[in-house]
Amino acid sequence: MKNVIISPYSPSLDKKKNPKNFPYWSTIVGYLKKKEYEVIQIGVNGEMEIPGVDEFRKNKPYEELEKMVMECEFWLSVDNFFHHLAAYKGKKGIAIFGPSNPNIFGHDGNVNISKGSNYHTKNQFLMWVQVDYNISAFNKANEVIEEIDKLIKEVQ
């Protein structure tokens, strides 16, 4: 079975929800399962497991993450460490941006999804703990699914 890696969270911010965390993961995972993908979530202790994932791998060393990214069909991530690792390894996937700007933090080889500059935090170099969570900064699940379908056709 082909697998997809999801990296759904940016680091915790002193018990405050990280403003970069995409809110519609359950819908995305459900869609990937219907497409018969094994969905592997990566993260760290203390993060919530997304309902429906096949496996949640926590606290994996860098070398193991490198291997995982090279073996997956594709990946999806919020703006966190993982999409940078995948870009470094040359593995295409989807990076989901909300208040952070893909023109600053994205990579050309990835599919960078953003609702647009009107939703980006004005000062991109603030500490993220200074930015409030805003669900309207994110594309809806169906818009991400459209990009997933395009990527599936490309990687097959």
Who contacts 20 (Cβ-Cβ below 8 Å, separation ≥6)? 10, 78, 79, 80, 97, 98, 99, 100, 128
Q: What is the pLDDT of residue 118?
A: 95
Quick: pLDDT tens for 112-138. Answer: 999 999 999 988 887 888 889 999 999
Quick: pLDDT tens for 41-67. Answer: 999 999 999 999 999 999 999 999 999
Structural domain of 50: 3-155
Quick: pLDDT tens for 84-94. Answer: 999 999 999 99
How far CA 116 is from CA of 97, 120, 124, 137, 144, in Å, comes to: 9, 7, 14, 8, 14
Percent of the chain past pLDDT 70, that is, above it, reads 100
pTM score, whole prediction: 0.94
- The domain that contains 70 carries what CATH number? 3.40.50.2000
The count of domains in the chain is 1
